[in-house]
Structure 1
Amino acid sequence: MWMDHRAAEQATRITNAGHKVLKRVGGVMSPEMQPPKLLWLKENLKESCWSKAAHFFDLPDFLSWKATGSLTRSLCTVVCKWMYCPPDGWDDSFWTSIGLQDLLENNFSKIGSVTCSPGSPLGDGLTQEAAADFGLNPRTAVGASLIDAHAGGLGVIGADVKGFNLACEDQPITSRMAMICGTSTCHMAISEQPRFVPGVWGPYLSPMVPDMWLNEGGQSATGRLIDHMVKGHAAYTQLQEQAQHSLPFTGENTYSYLNSHLRVLADSRSAVDLLGSSLHLWPDFHGNRSPLADPTLKGMMIGLSFSQTVDDLALLYLATMQALALGTLHILEAMKGAGHDIRTLFVCGGLSKNPLFVQIHANATGLPVVLPDQVEAVLIGAAILGACASQDFSTVQEAMEKMAKVGRVVQPDNKLQSFYDRKYKVFLRLFAHQREYQALMKQP
């Protein structure tokens, strides 16, 4: 549902209305957020959906309700996606200004009258029915939920890094940024004071780590973009055949083969990254979430030829990952400009299992990348919530330090700094050119 952009026109209208709450989402309402989606439902499915709905849930809160019967909403969902602002709560004037004054009824009962911090115990725990479905005991503690990406952030960002020789050691947790990389990527940075970053969501109070402010950047398509570029290439069938003959079959066989094929193309004397010198890509095929906050932006490529070989496919795959890494650098630069001092990346999610993706991010940003020792860090974050709800730990921060573990650290190749400095300049010019072309075509 987050990836459905059908409410783009409603999002634009909300942005143009200019309500003060937009300051907490980088000044621009995203079509991925819930107010424009709710407005779309009212305007397009008023009789069949809008007028009949008793409650509108974000998925994490829906699952909590199904498990416990509690209508209490997590601060994570309502703050990050629904424009709720603790300690003040809902802003009546915002919902009225966008035409959703219906939601004010009964103290906002349809979208949440009661909220709590993530990890707070909900109701009396699992209901009899939910316990039977799970094979667990009734009344088993259930913690207030997190959005999946935020659970990933909780599962990595607080890990004890002693002994890994990292710049963030003995520094506050605010020197770290969590990246949750899957179909899309979320970039989570926390601070003790609110920091307003143009084009980046937040600052949000207590949606992930209690009593800490969160800025959430992101890319609307990462894993999906890589799949799109690889599977849509003319040589994809040939790639699959070569991969099946060269490596033992696994679910990631194709990408493992591409990584090894790039190493062959590069020769042992030079870095794989340098193969991307003449092929450049702007990765916003599904719009830009951060830091430009423009869902209308499109993808761009420069340096294409007639070639339809596996070599050509491998280079396009490399250029795509480099563009995504430079997009992360773009977000980091925006956060740095607002006062964040990020020294280490903590990466999890499906793409963190791709060693070339991870190394390119380290090289392009110049920052070390910490990988968790657990394959599914999102589940560690969820376990942290449960451990807090069952009172195994007194605070989320304590649970993070004890339960999140470092697996390994990937250091940047400093010899590539000049290469990525130049490639980043090209990256930014691609965006400038897209804006220039749009302006030219708007002329009479």
Structure 2
Amino acid sequence: MAKYLMGIDNGGTSSKAAIYDINGNEVAKHTTYTQMLTPHQYWTERDMNELKQVNYEAIRGALKKAAIDPRDIVGISCTGHGNGLYLMGHNGSVVRNGIISTDNRAHKIVDKWLADPAYETIVRPRTFQTVWSSQPVSLLKWLDENEPDVYDQTEYVFMITDLVRYWLTGQAGFELSNASGTSMINQHTEDYDEQVFDFFGIDHWLKKMPKLVKSDKECGQITDEVAKETGLAAGTPVAGGLFDITASALSTGLVAGNNLSIVTGTWSINQYISKEIKVIKDLFMTSDYPIDGYHLITEASPTSGSNLTWFINTFMKPVKARLKKEGNQVSIYDYCSGLVNEVEPADSKLIFFPFIFGSNAGVANATAGFVGATKGTSLAEFVRAVYEGVVFAHMAHCEKLDNINPNIDGPIRIAGGITNSEIWLQIFADVFQRPLELVDVSENGALGTSMAAAVMSGVYPDFATAADKMVKISRTVQPNPDNAKIYQQKYALYKKELQHMQGAWETLEDTELV
């Protein structure tokens, strides 16, 4: 009897269910979408009732496409965007909209915390990360100050992985790799830390926190009701699941130290694993990794490939319409790659800061923008600037990682949306001047979290074995040494202009139009 695994992945606007055989081959997948709600500046939310239904639709769609007996699925596991906040009311009621990880409403609260010297003595030595505005601690504090009635309505505080697992099984839990990235967990004890909650002024929320669960442990089974809704077999075991950056790392085969993994999408995710963790002030995150003794060292921000989607949807709607009218088989993304190919790296000094959804500029009020445009700047130059700006944002993160661990070397394992663009991959290789190993996977999160299902169900004894069996490298992209100097110059220009923007961003933040 064939055995299958299901991975469910919820991003900022999409929900995906994918079915794999035990060798990591994708059998079927189905993607559904939710609307991103932006009722106020800095807010990004979603309707939780809609979210539940699109998850069920994704599962039904994957099962239909796979045409397998659902009883042959030996395990299910979920992943999703890290952080954000999903509150579950009593008896499964919805308290308010879910909050997505690109939300920035609480940035002023975070600024106050980071300016407090006690943060460096109380919080960072326990959490090993920098608190930021869409982490649950920040959002819970914001709710206390702005929507205080929410507290009494809430039974459980969830991440999106925990929320979907709760819907599938009726069992509440807070998965450890997710929890370790929330500024709630003491990395030494792997438990909630009362002193940290007290510093943030949210100690009363400890009563609403579910028990911590591990990624590869069974945390419930598909209920009869969910089986009827989705077509899954009642009683199918569901694993704890994984933090999306952890799932992405596993999907690239990151099982040894000193190797670099990059995942592109809405978030620029750059990471390696290590048995040694350090208190480093400007490091984005240290989180739990499901391989014994290892932690995931991550530099990340929402500054990656989705900036291109924004640019297309904002400025290239006429081009999309024309391609459709002409019956052109070229996708808008392939069209953009073609435009980039029209411009040589040395032909344009146009700079783009890819901060539409957030920044890695070191200031919370940084916004996106182009520098260097003239009346003669072509559309192709604008698109190339977007491509290069995204790579430069990744490079800035990786420079931090290199400063922490100078032994990171060898080819870079890379996955995510930009791997569909040959020219974008070449820009990556040329900027980093390192080979890129492309992972043969269309859904990083779903594949990575399916490994948790594989370990839970006994298909493989551990995550290292699961990754070894389920991850496949399709090819390698070599850097062009002829472009090394020009990209060194352009990246230096990017960093210099970034510093010049600090004052402008502060002025924009402080100016009120009346």
TM-score with structure 2 setting the length: 0.73
Query: Which of 295, 299, 302 in structure 1 is aligned with 2:368?
Result: 299
Per the alignment, residue 209 of structure 2 pairs with 111
SS at match of 2:437: strand
Q: Deviations over 1:176-211 (max 9, x none)?
A: 2222221222222211211444433232233x5443
CA contact (8 A) 2:129 2:183 kept: no
Query: Which of 407, 420, 441 in structure 1 is aligned with 2:487?
Result: 420
Q: AA paired with 1:12?
A: D
Measured in 2, the distance between the counterparts of 1:103 and 1:177 equals 36
Measured in 2, the distance between the counterparts of 1:202 and 1:15 equals 15
CA contact (8 A) 1:76 1:147 kept: yes
Within a 5 Å distance, the mapping from 1:109-258 to structure 2 comes to: 110-112=208-210, 114-123=211-220, 125-158=221-254, 173-206=256-289, 208-233=290-315, 236-237=316-317, 239-240=319-320, 243-244=323-324, 248-249=328-329, 253-258=331-336
Per the alignment, residue 324 of structure 1 pairs with 390
Task: Quote how far apart the aligned CAs of 1:87 are.
Answer: 4.4
CA contact (8 A) 1:285 1:297 kept: no
Question: Is 1:402 matched up with 2:469?
Answer: yes
Higher deviation after alignment, 427-436 or 20-29: 20-29
CA contact (8 A) 1:24 1:204 kept: no
Q: AA paired with 2:104?
A: H
Q: AA paired with 2:368?
A: G
Measured in 1, the distance between the counterparts of 2:507 and 2:340 equals 38
Measured in 2, the distance between the counterparts of 1:442 and 1:384 equals 44
Q: AA paired with 1:390?
A: S
More strand by share: 2
Query: Which of 177, 180, 201 in structure 2 is aligned with 1:79?
Result: 180
Per the alignment, residue 134 of structure 2 pairs with 32
Measured in 2, the distance between the counterparts of 1:58 and 1:2 equals 10
SS at match of 2:218: coil
CA contact (8 A) 1:154 1:400 kept: yes
Measured in 2, the distance between the counterparts of 1:374 and 1:115 equals 30
Task: Quote how far apart the aligned CAs of 1:334 are.
Answer: 0.8
Query: Which of 434, 453, 456 in structure 2 is aligned with 1:389?
Result: 456
SS at match of 1:281: strand
Task: Quote how far apart the aligned CAs of 1:35 are.
Answer: 0.3
CA contact (8 A) 2:263 2:269 kept: yes
Q: Measured at CA, do residues 115 and 409 of structure 1 come closer, stay the same or move farther in structure 2, by a change above 3 Å?
A: same
Task: Quote how far apart the aligned CAs of 1:441 are.
Answer: 9.7
Q: Measured at CA, do residues 57 and 116 of structure 1 come closer, stay the same or move farther in structure 2, by a change above 3 Å?
A: same
Within a 5 Å distance, the mapping from 1:8-47 to structure 2 comes to: 8-17=107-116, 18-19=118-119, 20-23=122-125, 28-47=130-149
Task: Quote how far apart the aligned CAs of 1:287 are.
Answer: 3.7
Per the alignment, residue 162 of structure 1 pairs with none
Measured in 1, the distance between the counterparts of 2:285 and 2:432 equals 22
Q: Measured at CA, do residues 314 and 12 of structure 1 come closer, stay the same or move farther in structure 2, by a change above 3 Å?
A: same
Q: Measured at CA, do residues 26 and 295 of structure 1 come closer, stay the same or move farther in structure 2, by a change above 3 Å?
A: farther
Q: Measured at CA, do residues 340 and 174 of structure 1 come closer, stay the same or move farther in structure 2, by a change above 3 Å?
A: farther
CA contact (8 A) 2:265 2:416 kept: yes
Measured in 2, the distance between the counterparts of 1:404 and 1:367 equals 21
Per the alignment, residue 262 of structure 1 pairs with 340
Runs (5+) with no aligned partner, structure 2: 1-99
Q: AA paired with 1:4?
A: D
Measured in 2, the distance between the counterparts of 1:90 and 1:41 equals 20
Measured in 2, the distance between the counterparts of 1:329 and 1:14 equals 28
Task: Quote how far apart the aligned CAs of 1:380 are.
Answer: 1.2
Q: Measured at CA, do residues 24 and 321 of structure 1 come closer, stay the same or move farther in structure 2, by a change above 3 Å?
A: farther
Q: Measured at CA, do residues 325 and 80 of structure 1 come closer, stay the same or move farther in structure 2, by a change above 3 Å?
A: same
Q: Measured at CA, do residues 227 and 205 of structure 1 come closer, stay the same or move farther in structure 2, by a change above 3 Å?
A: closer
Query: Which of 280, 289, 303 in structure 1 is aligned with 2:351?
Result: 280
Measured in 1, the distance between the counterparts of 2:322 and 2:426 equals 24
Per the alignment, residue 163 of structure 1 pairs with none
CA contact (8 A) 1:205 1:212 kept: yes
Q: Deviations over 1:280-312 (max 9, x none)?
A: 2233344424xx54221223432211247xxx1
Q: AA paired with 1:215?
A: I
Measured in 2, the distance between the counterparts of 1:394 and 1:359 equals 37
Measured in 2, the distance between the counterparts of 1:374 and 1:205 equals 24
Measured in 1, the distance between the counterparts of 2:434 and 2:293 equals 27
CA contact (8 A) 1:21 1:83 kept: no
SS at match of 1:416: helix
Query: Which of 431, 437, 440 in structure 1 is aligned with 2:498?
Result: 431
Measured in 2, the distance between the counterparts of 1:218 and 1:317 equals 23
Runs (5+) with no aligned partner, structure 1: 159-171, 267-271
CA contact (8 A) 1:217 1:331 kept: yes
Measured in 2, the distance between the counterparts of 1:26 and 1:273 equals 39
Higher deviation after alignment, 184-193 or 127-136: 127-136
Aligned length: 406
Q: Deviations over 1:214-257 (max 9, x none)?
A: 12211323233223334433xx355336645888436xx11212
Measured in 2, the distance between the counterparts of 1:137 and 1:438 equals 53
CA contact (8 A) 2:126 2:185 kept: no
TM-score with structure 1 setting the length: 0.83
Task: Quote how far apart the aligned CAs of 1:381 are.
Answer: 0.8
CA contact (8 A) 1:25 1:199 kept: no
Per the alignment, residue 167 of structure 1 pairs with none
Q: Deviations over 1:380-405 (max 9, x none)?
A: 11211111110111111110111111
CA contact (8 A) 2:102 2:134 kept: yes
Task: Quote how far apart the aligned CAs of 1:262 are.
Answer: 3.3
Structure 1 vs Structure 2: percent identity of aligned residues?
18
SS at match of 2:242: coil
SS at match of 1:54: strand
SS at match of 2:181: helix
Per the alignment, residue 362 of structure 1 pairs with 429
Measured in 2, the distance between the counterparts of 1:32 and 1:190 equals 24
SS at match of 1:324: helix
Q: Measured at CA, do residues 182 and 221 of structure 1 come closer, stay the same or move farther in structure 2, by a change above 3 Å?
A: same
Q: Deviations over 1:319-354 (max 9, x none)?
A: 111111112111111111112533332222223222
Q: Measured at CA, do residues 157 and 195 of structure 1 come closer, stay the same or move farther in structure 2, by a change above 3 Å?
A: farther
Q: AA paired with 2:257?
A: T
Q: What is the Cα-based RMSD across aligned positions, in Å?
A: 2.7
Measured in 1, the distance between the counterparts of 2:279 and 2:369 equals 29
